[in-house]
A and B are shown apart, each in its own frame.
Chain A
Amino acid sequence: GENVEQHPSTLSVQEGDSAVIKCTYSDSASNYFPWYKQELGKRPQLIIDIRSNVGEKKDQRIAVTLNKTAKHFSLHITETQPEDSAVYFCAATKNSGGSNYKLTFGKGTLLTVNP
């Protein structure tokens, strides 16, 4: 089955700096990669996603890049703010095979933005 590795497990940055979280996946057939943000005591919320037919997607201060050859994708947050502090999860899935409704999550990255 799919295996998703996420690094780093914790990340501390100063307000205004950029933050980068990286994930690798094992199944080359995976073709959908969402990122979720989970604030303390709250539910995970989708912040951005990317499909395998594109290499990069941007939404204001957040961007995701995908390298299918290397099987890794990354979340980039620019001009970080204290409210960006949360746990971020990457995930991967594919639309074929018996597990086509299963999303495999990384272990999460605790991002702390220091004011």
Chain B
Amino acid sequence: ETGVTQTPRHLVMGMTNKKSLKCEQHLGHNAMYWYKQSAKKPLELMFVYNFKEQTENNSVPSRFSPECPNSSHLFLHLHTLQPEDSALYLCASRRQVDQPQHFGDGTRLSIL
């Protein structure tokens, strides 16, 4: 049990669909993150939320829209995605800066 739960675990969608990824943590952490991990590529940081405020947007296309309603929940809203967006999307959380990030199991996203 990681303490960080992501749903769904797998998602297949067409390029015109709209879907959302959900991340939930009950570890009392203050920061939450979205990462993209493609085959044979490093972890790509997408967004950082610190106490519900977005502190980082790593030049992510607008077809990805994050939402952080509270410090325990993080969403990634998807619309009109492209085939190259197929990847593993990982959520992570952290209590404070010199503490490790805890990752969820990820959502495997496939764009048709």
Contact = CB atoms under 8 A, between A and B. Distances in A.
| Interface size of B as a range | 20 to 34
Interface of A is mostly: loop
A59 B56 CA distance: 33
A43 B101 CA distance: 11
Interface string A20-63: 00000000000110101000001111100101000000000000
Given A98-B55, A101-B31, A102-B48, A44 B42 contact: no
A45 B55 contact: no
B42 A95 contact: no
Interface stretch (B59-67, B73-81, B92-100): B92-100
Contacts of B41: 107
A103 B74 CA distance: 18
Given A89-B43, A101-B55, A105-B43, A42 B97 contact: no
A103 B101 contact: yes
Contacts of B104: 43
Contacts of A32: 97-98
A93 interface: yes
Contact of B2 (A43, A49, A93, A100): A43
A102 B49 CA distance: 10
B55 A43 contact: no
Contacts of A49: 100
A14 interface: no
A68 to B, nearest CB: 15
A43 B103 contact: yes
Contacts of B55: 98-99, 101-102
Interface of A: 31-32, 34, 36, 42-46, 49, 51, 89, 93-95, 98-103, 105-108
21 contacts: A32-B98, A43-B2, A43-B90, A43-B104, A43-B105, A44-B43, A46-B100, A46-B101, A93-B97, A93-B98, A94-B97, A95-B96, A99-B55, A99-B56, A101-B97, A103-B94, A103-B101, A105-B42, A107-B41, A107-B42, A108-B43
Interface of B: 2, 30-31, 33, 41-43, 45, 48, 50, 55-56, 90, 94, 96-98, 100-106
